Structure formats: structure tokens, C-alpha cells
Structure 1
Amino acid sequence: MSELIRVMHIMGHMMGGGVEATVMNHYRHIDRDRVQFDFVVDSDSTVVPREEIESLGGRVFVVPPYKKLPLYSSACEKLFREQKPDIVHSNINALSVFPLRAAKRAGVPIRIAHSHSTANPGEHAKTLVKNMLKPLSKLYPTHLAACSKYSARWLFGDKAVDEDRVHIIKNAIDLDKFSFNPRTRSRKRAELGVTDRQLVIGQVGSMCFQKNQVFTLNVFAEVLKQRPDAVLVFVGDGPMRADVEARADSLGIRDNLRILGVRTDTSELYQAFDVLALPSKYEGLPLTGIEAQAAGLPLVVSTNISDETFMVDTLIHPLGLAEAAKTWATLLIESARYTYGSNNEQRQQLTTQGYEIHASADTLCSWYETLISSTHHSY
């Protein structure tokens, strides 16, 4: 392709979560002489890496939040008509129906709906909206994408997946950043104020219903009965932070808790942890699960998470959320890593499965070019 392809990514409410990290990982490593990204973000976003995006040649466009639907839709359509992107790639799951409808009205030739997640019946209002919108998920996109077959089936249905109509874009990462380094481990643990002998449990993700941090706190209270000097580290922020802090106070475990907020050094923090808690109520394919495996970090995970997430079997310890907090606590303690060394084996497994970012970014670039070429040939 001789002309630069401009892809406008719809990001919704940006708050430093895994979807944003996945898109940014690909943006950093894609050949920007062939493909350039622009980002459409809601005005109520809290974490927008504008400076980095602009340094890489991209642009950030701000629209009203999707909750103000008429304003949101008209702003998107106006933006698409003015900017005339080659591709609109929407990353907001079932809500993609709205920006892609606007993109179709604006005459954007290639419109991608990307499923990054699923749903949980316990999240009543959100799940109701998702279930109402799912039948419309294939109405406005010209192409479908997903982070896993599990998330693809959830949004687009079995038939679309079985007929190979969903393009899988793995939540790939820069594996080099996650290679274990004992000096990094010592430095990050010192920053956290913990000794070599203390058990450090980590959890990385937005503080929300889906990621289930309150459940982790209840489990951690049981951990402290066996390991009184243990420390729990939350990386991330979100709408349930106040609830998390209140629960920690009510359990009397605040002194053993570190809430770090949104961080840019997550790859180093994994090395400070001894085990990762991943008790999600639902997931598409959690980026943190891939990152932890690349770092050689054991994971205790809920059985609600798709098996597609896990490549390094020796690191994975699944458990149902209905199990007692004491059972979770015992498994976290028993699963913690106590030896460290080369993680070449898990790196090779992740590379083979398509989670190496350089290869994934090149594949994505080629896919965009193929879509453009096919569209031109159809005229």
C-alpha cells in the first residue's frame, strides 16, 4: 500500500484499563508509515495518554459520553464526515452499534466491531443493555473482530465464529518487558515497603464489579490468619475504589493493603509479586493474565475466565467463586512462587500462541491493508 491508512479507534470512557492497554500496545509497535491511529474518547474519560498518542503522530478527538446518546451519535457522525477515516474500529463491545451506525451514515467504507469482553448476570443494568444491543451487533459493521473466540461467540454468536467471520486480534504484549530480573524485583519490593520474606499478592485491573476486588479483600483477610505479614497490592482505579477502601477498613486490614492506582510500571510490579489474584466475575480475555504468564507469575483465577487465556499450565490455579474465602486464601499461599529464574519456556509458549506484540502488530497492519485493498477492488 502506498497511501497511509488512517484508522479511527473508538475507545469510549478511557480509564487506564486492559482494552486501552491492548490498543496502545499495538499502536506503539505498528508500522506507522503504513497505518496511523486516531482515538475517539468520551469527555468523561479519566486516563487519556494524549501526549504519547500525539508524539506517535496520532490525534485525540473528544466526544460527549455515550450516556448522552443523541449528542454522542451526532458528534461521532460529524467527526467522521469531517475527518473521513479509512477505517473506524470500535472497541466498546455491544455499545459499538452506536458509533458504527454513525460511521455508516457518514459513509465510512470499513467499520469494525471488536468484542473485548462478555457479561455477568449480577451486573443487572449493564447486562440488560448488552443483551438488548447484542442482536444489533452485526447490523452496522462491515467486519468483526474479537480478542478470543469466547468473547466473539458472546457478542456475535456461534454461527459467525464457526463460519470464520470473526478476525481474532490477540491481546499481545511486549514480552521483553516482562522478563524476570532479580534487581527489578528487589527495587520494586523496596518501593512497596516489603521484605524478601513477606508474601505479596497482586491484583491488576480497574476497580469495578467485573474485577471483583471486594472478593479479594475478603480472601485476603483469611490469608492474614495464616500469613500475618502478607501484603495485598491493588494496581488500578475505578468507580468502586471507595467501596474497596471502605471494605478494607471494615475488615481492619488497611495496613497490609497498598492501593497504587493507575501505573505505567506494571511490568515491573509483576516481578515484585509472589502470586496474582484474578477473581473476575467475567472476562473476554484479560490482558493481565497474559502479562502475568509472561512474567512467570503464578495465577489463582476464577473459573469464569476462558481457558483461552492460559498457555502456561504450570502457572494456572483455577477456583470457583463459590468456594470459601479460606479455600482461596490457602491456594494463594500454596501457589506463590518461591524460586525465580529464566522464563524462556513461557515466552516461547506465548509467542507460539500469537501474543508477541511485534508479530501481532504486523499482522494487524496487514489485515487493515487487506481490508482497504478488498474495498477498493469491490468498486
Structure 2
Amino acid sequence: MTIKVLYYSEGWGLGGIERFIVNTAEALDRHNYSFDVFCTHDWSACYDDTISSLGGKRYTVFHGFKPNLMKRAICSSSAWRKQLCSKHYDAVHINTMNGMGFLYAKIAYDAGIPVRIVHSHNSAFGSGSRIIKQIMHKFGQQAWSRYATFNLACSSEAGKYLFGKRRFDIIHNGVDVERFRFSMPIRSQVRAELGVGSESLLFGSVGRLAEAKDPLFQIRVLKVLCDMGVDAHLLLVGEGPLSCNVRQEAKVLDLNDRVHLPGGTAEPERFMSAFDVFTMPSLYEGFPMVVVEATDNGLPILISDTIQLGSFEAPRIRHLPTGQPRQWAEAIMQCKMHETLSDRSDGSRIVNKLGYNRVAITRQLELIYSSADC
């Protein structure tokens, strides 16, 4: 009999959780597993065709907008309850950034779902979090954490943040290693589309334009490079609440023609091949899947020292302190001088060796999804 899984994500767009869910769904054994996706609010439908092609359906409470926190919690939990009661599911996989994810496990318990997974994808709230959100996070941890049958985390830090002293298992954020291999033809094509020369320095990242990712810092790094006389360009692939701020900062610093904002995409691998250096000055993260994707592409990677990668020890990753644009600019130049495009060919081998191939990781998850039958 087919085991049916319902994946939960509060938001739905083009972020890391969405890619994790889609990557897992694509690698599921379709003879034995099927799935749907449930989200509270969305801002993109880019993955809907993929979900449909795999036999799944995405259910959303609020289309195209994000209401206030209390309305999201009340309306979403009610809709989740109705979803579980109206359809048959054997397992729920709740991907969450805070303790409110446990509420969905409690509702699944009430609905008689035997396998209830809570999966932590973040390691901190961030400085801008409101008091009410922190209170709900703590309350969710204390009131409903016992209703999860499996606690998963993308990293040790993410697990400690959500589960505290409770036991949890780390599930790597796996990628499709073939999809993210470096491609010279695609590199040339994307750079031509952006108007970036073959010899120009192109750095940047793929991810939400939000406070946690600190995209404004990347513009300051670009400014330092340009002041050094470097023919540099910044590419930020994604959407988010700071999109207008990024455009304004680029305008103020007279860098409009060197800051490229193509928006969100369901094909991040195309842009990976276009980069020379991947930069991620995040203020806080769980375990960023995009680092695995960039490694698969063979890119040199600079990330902030706030990001803990655990056992993911790839040779081209370097940690740097946040808030030091000149240090980042100099590190970018070092990468550009010492790396060649021929070095990009062994990224997939590294990802496979470290155990981040999505097929192997999905097999681990399938064992959990089917555990009620054991």
C-alpha cells in the first residue's frame, strides 16, 4: 500500500525549505510513496508544476500575502486540522523555523496520524523578532513538543535551538548532484543575459533578500571592490522584504549597472555556473542547502563565521567575520586569482563523498515515513 506524506512549510516561495521538500519529493520511490504540500502563505508558484508532475498537490491558506502572526496561526492550524481530517495521510513532515511547528504535530496526533516529524531548519530568531513570536515559540516547545514522534534538524545548532535537550537526528540537506554540476555553456549564456563580461568578477548568492541574509552588506563589499578598481558585479538571486532596500542602496552608491537582481527562480543551478565566487554573509542560518549546491558546482565559497556547517567540510569554503566589507572584498579577490574554471569539475564528487546526495538522504526519510508499519 502506498504511504502518503503531507509536508508542511509556513511560507512557500523559492527558499531552502521549499527546495528541500521538492528535492525529497522528486527522489521518493513513487511506487511506495506519494505526497502533498501544505503551507500557510505563499509568494511564488514556481514549484507547482513540478509538484503536479510528481502526483502531488499544494494546499495554501493565504495566497499571495502574509497576514499578521496571530491570524496566520489561527487560520492555518484550523485549515491544517481540516486537511488531515478530509484526506488520508500516514505521515506528516513539519518543516519549521520555530516552536509553533509543534502545534501542527499536536493536531496531527489528534487526527490519528501515526508518524509526526518536526524538522528544524533554523538556528536562531534574529534581532528583529517580535516578543509575541518569541513567546509563541517558547510556548510551543513546552506545550506540544511531546507530540512529535521524530525530531529532525538540518544541523546540530538548529536541533539545539528547537529541541533543547530532547533527542534529535540530523538529516542533511541533500541536492541533485547532476543538476548543479558546473556548465561552461550555461555560464556564458547567463552572463550574456546579465550583461556581464566573461572576464568580469561576478560574486553573490542565491536566497531570500531578507535581514538574515544581509544583502545590503554585499552591496558594500561591491563598493569596496569597485573603489579598488576591480571590474566587479554583484548577483543576488531571490526575492524578499529587502528587495526595495537593495535597489535603493545600489542607487545611492551609484552601482545600479553592477547590481543584478533577476528575482526568484526555480533554476538556481543556471546562476551557480555564472558566479566566480559564492558569498553568504548571513547573520544567522540553520544549515544552508545553497552551500551544498554551490559546492556541487565547484564554486569557492565565502560564508560568515556565524554559520556552522557541522560535518560538511568542503575544501573551498572559508569563514569570515560579519561587518568587514574590505576583508570580504580582499578574500573575493584571492579566490578569483587562485581558482580556475577547471577546478569546478570535482564539486559533485565532493558532495557525494560527504553524503549530501539527495537520493541517499531520501532513502533515510522513507524509513521514517514507513516506520508506523514496522
After TM superposition, the score normalised by the length of structure 2 is: 0.91
Q: How does 1:349-364 map to 2 (within 5 A)?
A: 349-364=350-365
Residue deviations 1:92-118, cap 9 Å, x none?
232212322221222222211000111
Per the alignment, residue 331 of structure 2 pairs with 331
> Separation in 2 of the partners of 1:291 and 1:166?
25
User: Given residue 83 of structure 1, which amino acid in structure 2 is its aligned partner?
Assistant: K
Residue deviations 1:338-361, cap 9 Å, x none?
412265644333213221122222
Per the alignment, residue 377 of structure 1 pairs with none
Alpha carbons 2:101, 2:140 under 8 Å: kept = no
Residue deviations 1:296-316, cap 9 Å, x none?
101111000003274212x11
> Separation in 1 of the partners of 2:309 and 2:8?
28
Per the alignment, residue 276 of structure 2 pairs with 274
Residue deviations 1:207-245, cap 9 Å, x none?
111111011111211111124421100100011111111
- Secondary structure at the counterpart of residue 151 of structure 1: helix
Q: How does 1:171-250 map to 2 (within 5 A)?
A: 171-250=173-252
From 276, 296, 299, give the equivalent of 2:298.
296
Identify if the C-alpha distance between structure 1 residues 25 and 130 changes in structure 2 by more than 3 Å, giving closer, same or farther.
same
- Secondary structure at the counterpart of residue 145 of structure 2: coil
Identify if the C-alpha distance between structure 1 residues 83 and 225 changes in structure 2 by more than 3 Å, giving closer, same or farther.
same
User: Given residue 15 of structure 1, which amino acid in structure 2 is its aligned partner?
Assistant: G
Matched, 1:149 2:156: yes
Residue deviations 1:322-346, cap 9 Å, x none?
4x32122111222236412265644
Per the alignment, residue 123 of structure 1 pairs with 128
Alpha carbons 1:229, 1:256 under 8 Å: kept = no
Matched, 1:26 2:24: yes
Q: What is the root-mean-square deviation of aligned Cα atoms in Å?
A: 2.0
- Secondary structure at the counterpart of residue 117 of structure 1: coil
Per the alignment, residue 92 of structure 1 pairs with 96
Alpha carbons 1:217, 1:248 under 8 Å: kept = yes
Deviates more, 1:236-245 or 1:179-188: 179-188
Residue deviations 1:42-84, cap 9 Å, x none?
2444335222212211122222566412222222111111113
Q: Deviation of residue 129 (structure 1)?
A: 4.7
Alpha carbons 1:200, 1:231 under 8 Å: kept = yes
Deviates more, 1:183-192 or 1:133-142: 133-142
> Separation in 2 of the partners of 1:48 and 1:264?
6
> Separation in 1 of the partners of 2:76 and 2:129?
24
Q: How does 1:286-325 map to 2 (within 5 A)?
A: 286-308=288-310, 310-313=312-315, 315-322=316-323, 324-325=324-325
> Separation in 1 of the partners of 2:109 and 2:368?
20
Per the alignment, residue 139 of structure 1 pairs with 146
Alpha carbons 2:278, 2:301 under 8 Å: kept = yes
- Secondary structure at the counterpart of residue 271 of structure 1: helix
Identify if the C-alpha distance between structure 1 residues 339 and 255 changes in structure 2 by more than 3 Å, giving closer, same or farther.
same
Moved over 6 A (4+): none
Matched, 1:257 2:255: no
Identify if the C-alpha distance between structure 1 residues 103 and 129 changes in structure 2 by more than 3 Å, giving closer, same or farther.
same
> Separation in 2 of the partners of 1:123 and 1:131?
17
- Secondary structure at the counterpart of residue 195 of structure 1: coil
Consecutive unaligned residues of structure 2, counting only runs of 5 or more, are none
Q: Deviation of residue 20 (structure 1)?
A: 0.4
Alpha carbons 1:317, 1:335 under 8 Å: kept = no
User: Given residue 305 of structure 1, which amino acid in structure 2 is its aligned partner?
Assistant: I
Deviates more, 1:113-122 or 1:332-341: 332-341
Consecutive unaligned residues of structure 1, counting only runs of 5 or more, are 375-379
User: Given residue 102 of structure 2, which amino acid in structure 1 is its aligned partner?
Assistant: V
> Separation in 2 of the partners of 1:341 and 1:127?
47
Alpha carbons 2:201, 2:231 under 8 Å: kept = yes
> Separation in 2 of the partners of 1:128 and 1:29?
37
Matched pairs, number: 364
Alpha carbons 2:103, 2:144 under 8 Å: kept = no
Alpha carbons 2:312, 2:354 under 8 Å: kept = no
> Separation in 2 of the partners of 1:122 and 1:225?
31
Matched, 1:6 2:7: no
Alpha carbons 2:27, 2:362 under 8 Å: kept = yes
User: Given residue 91 of structure 2, which amino acid in structure 1 is its aligned partner?
Assistant: I
From 34, 39, 42, give the equivalent of 1:41.
39
- Secondary structure at the counterpart of residue 279 of structure 2: strand
User: Given residue 51 of structure 2, which amino acid in structure 1 is its aligned partner?
Assistant: I
After TM superposition, the score normalised by the length of structure 1 is: 0.90
User: Given residue 87 of structure 1, which amino acid in structure 2 is its aligned partner?
Assistant: A
Per the alignment, residue 102 of structure 1 pairs with 107
Q: Deviation of residue 283 (structure 1)?
A: 0.8
Identify if the C-alpha distance between structure 1 residues 85 and 209 changes in structure 2 by more than 3 Å, giving closer, same or farther.
same
